[in-house]
Amino acid sequence: MDEIKQEKARQVLSRNELQVSNLDHITRKITIIYLVLGLLWILLSDQALAALVQDPDTYHTLQTYKGWFYVLMTALVLYGLLHEQMKKLKNSRQKLLTSYEELESAYEELIAMEEELEHQYDTLKNKQEKLLETEEKYRLIVEGSNENIWDLNIKTGRMMFSRTKEMLGYSDDEISSTYEGWKALVHPEDILTVQKAEEQHIKGRVPYYYCEFRLKDKSGEYRWIQSRGKAACDGESNALRMAGSHLDVTEQKRMMMEMYDMAFYDKLTQLGNRSLFYDHLKKILSSHHRRKRRFALLIVDLDDFKRINDTRGHIVGDKMLQQVAQRLGDVTESGEMLARSGGDEFFILKPRIKSLEEVKNLAVEVLKTFETPFSIDESEFFISASIGIAVYPEDGEDRDTLIQHADVAMNEAKAGGKNKYRLFDHNIRERVASWMEKERGLRYAILREEFLVYYQPVLETATSKISGAEALVRWNHPEEGVLSPFHFIDIAEETGQIVSIGQWVMESVLKHHKEWRSQNDLPLMVSVNISPAQFKRHDLAEWIEDLTRKYDMKPEELQIEITETVAMENLEHSITVLEKIRKLGIKVALDDFGTGFSSLNYLRTLPLDVLKIDKSFIGHLGKDRKEAAIVRQIINMAHELELSVTAEGVEEKEQVEMLQRFGCDNLQGYYFYRPVPETSFRELL
């Protein structure tokens, strides 16, 4: 811009000089023309006039006129020439004045530009000084910092480190201070990740550079590094250099991996846990929904695994679970996911199935793995498994439905004799629908108080008189009538509603007993079953004590019944709770004796008052000598342990006679009475 203005000023000056030069030339030109014309007029006009005019007077007259004519003509010519030149001179003068004004303006602009240039020069000089000062400070900060700071000159590829080399165990000359030297330390699997992160920032897609990658230290191990930085660009957004810091996060990464393993992997079997399986199942559901593909979910549950834990201890049980996981891993193929759901249950996910035969073959292979005994601590154990199978999408289109249906199918396999697999089918679907309907009905039954308490009398063997009764719950279903526990107790236990039902039964029994005492002042023992969920309450004894006080019941006239399975689940808890209950004066009976796996040592340890022999033994009395011998020995053993014995399921006279001979204390069964409503039992009293 300044050069253009200077050139314009030069053109104005050049034009003015040219106009002055032209004026001198014109003056000379007019003078020469006037002289030439005058000479030609003098020389030629006289000769022409002499040739034309002979008369001297006329000649002299015309000679005079000729002079005047010459003067007039030359005056006109001179006027015309001078007028034209004056006009041009005037125009040139005007242009000259204009040019002078432009020149003055250009000069002023030049002065202003010079001042601006001087100001810019001063500013640039100050900036240079500050830049030098800043670079010096930056150098001192980097060299004196305890942090791992890096600086990369993108154009030259030079890279400066403050402590990164030291952090990795290298001396300064062992690693080149270049981008390529640093890049050579990056784990091959992380190179593309680092380059992509750099590119994202340099192209302005992210405000800061951030990346986590691995660098090789001097020992050959890789350390996790967290790198942050920012690029400096020129006026055209081209990156010139980038600087940032390195942070060693190896320990944090290790802790995160441990936390991840704890959150998503089973520590005992090293398999994925329920959370990881759910996450994988979610992805499979999304993928197969879009592509209209089928897959199968298998739930593998060990049969009677609790028996191993109870009889041989949890250490043996844990080792067995590890071997089971290994065997299941051997039969699952690549792409199939195996996970431990919890306890003794495993998940297998088989994606992309073409037919049910593939799923059945896998289930058969799984069952075959249990045919070989498990060798643990120089002992061999046999155990089987039950498998439930649900197929997407016909057996469910969401996670919970598929798992629920596979679980239902697995329970069907157990109910069918165990060591089997079952596919979820239409019939099971109907049973599930019925199960769900009853579950909803149970919730309403609690609110509407649709439950009833039936009582089955217990007779003293020696006198055949009623000495007590067992309280049994019934559901007065609004459509199906009175239902026994067989139709709803499993649902109630699985959904947790058994706790509310059990509380209602206990309070109803004590209320009824109070009414009986007011009408017939006879001592009567009433027995109430305690569910597994109720027995887990640590305040069970306190709760029962409060109820006995509320209904003014003598503790010695109340008996609670628990099964062997409940008592054995947590022996220490069972002993503590039962001792508290017995200290209140309440009797404790072990129900269904003979159907579980308790040892005689446990029987001796548990604080009990009554042993109730299961009806499965009583039913064969008189038909099987072995069964009779077992019952007699149970009675003798119980008496040796100072326990009273009650025989359940007595239905024949021969059974009564044999139990009398064996010295059984009390009898209970259809031979005497079926369970009856409370009003009918009151009439019996």
pLDDT per residue over 81-93, tens digit each? 777 777 777 777 7
**Domain count within the chain:** 4
> What number is the average pLDDT over the span 443-457?
91
On whether both 657 and 675 belong to a single domain, the answer is yes
| Residues 6 or more apart in contact with residue 458 via CB below 8 angstroms | 466, 467, 468, 469, 470, 525, 527, 646, 666, 667, 668
**Is the same domain home to 111 and 165?**
no
Cα 27 to the center of its chain, rounded Å: 103
pLDDT confidence of 603, banded at 50, 70, 90?
confident
The reply to whether 388 falls in a domain is yes
Q: What pLDDT is attached to residue 128?
A: 72
The predicted model gives 472-477 an average pLDDT of 94
Q: Is residue 311 part of a domain?
A: yes
| Contact between residue 359 and residue 298 where contact means Cβ atoms under 8 Å apart | yes
For 178-213, write each residue's pLDDT tens digit. 888 888 899 999 999 999 999 999 888 898 999 999
- pLDDT of 5: 47
Q: Read off the pLDDT band of 1 (50, 70, 90).
A: very low
Q: How far apart are CA 571 and CA 579, in angstroms?
A: 12
Q: Helix, strand or coil for residue 173?
A: coil
Mean pLDDT (whole number) for 31-60: 72
- Indicate whether 136 pLDDT > 70: no
Say yes or no: 131 and 154 in one domain. no
**What tokens appear for 296 in the block?**
């199968």
For range 403-418, the mean pLDDT? 87
Domain match, 161 and 93 both:
no
Q: Are residues 236 and 269 in the same domain?
A: no
Confidence of residue 132 (pLDDT cuts 50, 70, 90): low
The CATH number covering residue 217 comes to 3.30.450.20
Q: At which residue do the structure tokens 């699985």 appear?
A: 494
User: Tokens 């201890």 label which residue?
Assistant: 313
Q: Does the pLDDT at position 598 exceed 60?
A: no
Can you tell me the distance from the alpha carbon of 219 to that of 663, in angstroms, rounded to the nearest whole number?
82
135 and 159 in one domain? no
Is the distance from CB of 621 to CB of 627 less than 8 angstroms? Answer: yes
Do residues 51 and 180 share a domain?
no
Domain check: are 273 and 252 in the same one? no
Q: Could you tell me if 108 and 238 lie in one domain?
A: no
Last residue of one domain, picked from the residues 256, 291, 322? 256
Residue 445 lies in a domain: no
pLDDT tens digits along 623-654:
878 888 989 999 999 999 999 999 999 999 99
Per mean pLDDT, which range of 138-147, 170-179, 551-560, 665-674 is the poorest? 138-147
pLDDT at 461 (0 to 100): 94
Q: Which of 227, 256, 285 is the last residue of a domain?
A: 256
Q: What is the mean pLDDT of the chain?
A: 84
CATH number at residue 521: 3.20.20.450
> CB-side exposure of 296: number of CA atoms within 13 Å?
25
Between 116 and 512, where is the model more confident? 512
Same domain (yes/no): 543, 626? yes
Q: Structural domain of residue 334, as residue ranges?
A: 265-424
328-337, 361-370, 371-380, 564-573: segment of lowest average pLDDT = 564-573
520 in the same domain as 502: yes
Report if residue 483 sits inside a domain.
no
**Mean local confidence (pLDDT), 237-265:** 82
Of 203, 237, 256, which marks where a domain is finished? 256
Q: Are 485 and 473 in contact (CB under 8 A)?
A: yes
Q: Is the pLDDT of residue 6 over 60?
A: no
Cis peptide before 457 (omega within 30 of 0): no
Which has the closest alpha carbon to 546: 502, 510, 500, 505?
Answer: 510
pTM of the predicted protein model: 0.50
Q: Is residue 444 part of a domain?
A: no
Please indicate, yes or no, whether residues 605 and 646 belong to a single structural domain of this protein: yes
pLDDT at residue 554 in the model: 93
Q: Please compute Rg for the chain using Cα positions.
A: 57
Cα(411)–Cα(422) distance, integer angstroms: 9
Question: Which range has the worst mean pLDDT, 122-126, 249-253, 613-617?
Answer: 122-126
Q: Note every long-range contact of 107-111, with CB atoms under 8 Å and residues 24 or more positions apart, other chains counting.
A: 107/9, 109/5, 110/2, 110/5, 110/6, 110/9
